[in-house]
Chain A
């Protein structure tokens, strides 16, 4: 069995109605699945920005050097 747990968050009814219309005819089966998707996108974007800071200029230069050595970059 999967170990998935859920909790409830509140959003304005007007927003929920907008989402309901937006997901008609898409692969999203509920407002919850759409909201979960949007939040994941936002969080992963923030995490990606954080990660960019971790990948230092020095690391990037090493990668570019290897790519040039292999002929992938001029």
Chain B
């Protein structure tokens, strides 16, 4: 079994004396940060044991590594409002969910940080816009998780210690992690089946959490994958479980972060495709593949998929511009925008693009898109 990132799977879930907790100062943090609190506590973000300090943040921004040299690309930060600054050295309760041992309260240049994380400080970038809207002050320090909530997707919310036991029980020596934030089209299915020819199992790990308006909702993604796996993947070689964290749209830096999280779940391989975690035209389509050249010590093997998939009417199967010699007019593209349009009009996409069972699952959702 592959070692967790940094060598040790973090477990900071505690059963505290409730009287002690009641006496501590209680601080509210945004609801969407609950997921990251839990991810730290159950080891998805190993080796992090809490929110980053100033030195750790600077090291991640400037070197893409923690101060001890371990690869880490996305700073996990706790923004705090002026009215709720916790005292350095104090213990505070965050949203009744975790105790934080506050080591320091600090500020830094957020625009410079945005350029490091996202490669831009343009507020046209949804990740930058969100990041720059955060308070200017941050609290760093270890956390202990008081409540290990598995909702809203209880049945599909495995912890790294559980997936590690599961992979071992299934005798999977090699496991490929598959990141997704969209329902599966036949291009995804084809890719997953190809990868299953290389490894023992596939861990389909949709990212559940805050996304930008117009993206598919969490339940749409999960339900459509359930249908796809039930009908078209060998069930003993595929596992579906969520990763609850927000999309940052940080392209290459987020691709490395995604790989680290999947390594902690026990994946030996991680699939990175065109424009992974990208948005608009902010990143070169292969930037998220090439970034891994800077991390030969990551420990997880990257399966890089270059090029765009489409269905070719001449080849009569799925292809990409790297494999198909025919003209563009012979291609049916997997445009996410087109699939969204068809869904809005309740028109079925061609079978070459999306399985009818999967599309039926999408139609079941009254509100399939974020913010609509």
Known A-B contacts A27-B294, A27-B296; the reply to A47 vs B67 at CB < 8 A is no
Number of interface residues of A (CB under 8 A): 29
Q: Among B68, B70, B161, B296, find the residue whose CB has the most chain A CB atoms closer than 10 A.
A: B296
Contact yes or no, B296 A41, CB < 8 A: no
Contact yes or no, B59 A4, CB < 8 A: yes
Cβ distance A56 to chain B, nearest Cβ, rounded Å: 12
CA distance A50 to B263 in the complex (A): 19
Q: Which of the candidate stretches B5-13, B83-91, B187-195 sits at the interface with the other chain?
A: B5-13
Known A-B contacts A27-B296, A70-B155, A72-B158; the reply to A40 vs B165 at CB < 8 A is no
Cβ distance B233 to chain A, nearest Cβ, rounded Å: 14
Chain B 142-171 near chain A by CB (<8 Å), digits 1 or 0:
000000000000010010011001100110
CA distance A73 to B239 in the complex (A): 11
| A3 sits at the interface (CB 8 A) | yes
Contact yes or no, B69 A73, CB < 8 A: no
Is the contact region of chain A dominated by helix, strand, or loop, or is it mixed? helix
> Looking across the interface, which residue of chain A has its beta carbon closest to that of B292?
A27
CA distance A39 to B158 in the complex (A): 31
> Looking across the interface, which residue of chain B has its beta carbon closest to that of A61?
B165
| B307 sits at the interface (CB 8 A) | no
Contact yes or no, B8 A51, CB < 8 A: yes
CA distance A44 to B166 in the complex (A): 22
> Looking across the interface, which residue of chain B has its beta carbon closest to that of A26?
B296
- Which residues does chain B contribute within 8 Å of A36, judged by CB atoms? 69, 297
Contact yes or no, A2 B162, CB < 8 A: no
Contact yes or no, A1 B58, CB < 8 A: yes
Contact yes or no, B67 A64, CB < 8 A: no
Known A-B contacts A27-B293, A37-B297; the reply to A44 vs B169 at CB < 8 A is no
CB contacts under 8 Å to A, within B11-48, are: none
| B62 sits at the interface (CB 8 A) | yes
Task: Tell me which of B1, B63, B293 contacts A2 (CB under 8 A).
Answer: B63
Known A-B contacts A63-B161, A63-B165, A66-B162; the reply to A47 vs B7 at CB < 8 A is yes
Cβ distance B124 to chain A, nearest Cβ, rounded Å: 30
CA distance A27 to B293 in the complex (A): 6
CA distance A72 to B6 in the complex (A): 28
A interface residues with partner B (beta carbon < 8 Å): 1-4, 26-28, 33, 36-37, 40-41, 43-45, 47-48, 51, 55, 59-60, 63-64, 66-67, 70-73
Q: A2-B63, A44-B8, A63-B165 are in contact. List 5 more A-B contacts (CB 8 A).
A: A26-B296, A28-B296, A40-B69, A40-B70, A73-B166
A-B residue pairs in contact (CB < 8 Å), sample of 23: A27-B293, A27-B294, A36-B69, A37-B296, A40-B7, A40-B69, A41-B299, A44-B7, A47-B3, A47-B7, A48-B7, A48-B8, A51-B8, A60-B165, A63-B162, A64-B169, A66-B162, A67-B158, A67-B162, A67-B166, A71-B155, A72-B158, A72-B239
